């Protein structure tokens, strides 16, 4: 009776990267997606991984006794907005209107004080 060696059993898979290049790797039979990514020096930055063009959740076969965990998604940062997208965000806001009125009053007081100082300097050179 001969013994079969599992060390010689290999699978060949192709990794397609988003940049358009591909890499064919030979892995031991039973290798996982994590093994493939480690071997290729690749990291997943996208929430979607496709196997034979199908999302990983459709391609993965479950085995009896597996424990499936769905971790909580980290909160996504809101997309950055440019200043133009904020125009009008305080329209009809009475607190903001009070703030603008106060700012205008402060600026007018500064202008008045500057004019008085310039007039005083011109009278007494």
Secondary structure (DSSP) of 4-39:
PPGGG-EEEEEEE-TTS-EEEEEEETT--HHHHHHH
pLDDT at 2: 45
Q: Is the pLDDT of residue 91 over 60?
A: yes
Residue 64 belongs to a domain: no
Residue 75 belongs to a domain: no
Tell which residue, 54, 7, 45, has the closest CA to residue 26.
Answer: 7
pLDDT at 32: 80
Written as six digits, the tokens of 52 are 């034979």
Q: Are 25 and 12 in contact (CB under 8 A)?
A: yes
β-sheet bridge partners, residue 50: 55
Over residues 27-51, the pLDDT tens digits come to 888 888 788 888 888 777 667 778 8
Residue 71 belongs to a domain: no
Together in a domain, 54 and 21: yes
Q: Which domain holds residue 88?
A: 83-123
Together in a domain, 52 and 87: no
Residue 2 belongs to a domain: no
pTM beyond 0.85: no
Q: Are 49 and 40 in contact (CB under 8 A)?
A: no
Domain count, the chain: 2
Mean pLDDT of 2-12: 63
Over residues 111-122, the pLDDT tens digits come to 999 999 999 988
């Amino acid at each position: 009776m001969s013994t079969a060696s599992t060390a010689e059993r290999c699978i060949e898979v192709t990794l397609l990267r988003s940049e358009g290049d591909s890499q064919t790797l030979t892995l031991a039979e039973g290798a996982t997606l994590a093994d493939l990514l480690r071997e290729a020096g690749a990291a997943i930055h996208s929430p979607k991984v496709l196997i034979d063009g199908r999302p990983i959740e459709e391609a993965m076969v479950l085995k009896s006794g597996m424990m499936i965990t769905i971790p909580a998604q980290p909160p996504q940062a809101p997309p950055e907005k440019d200043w133009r997208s904020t125009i009008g965000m305080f329209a009809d806001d009475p607190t903001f209107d009070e703030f603008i009125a106060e700012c205008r009053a402060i600026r007018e007081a500064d202008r008045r004080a500057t004019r008085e100082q310039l007039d005083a300097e011109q009278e007494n050179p």
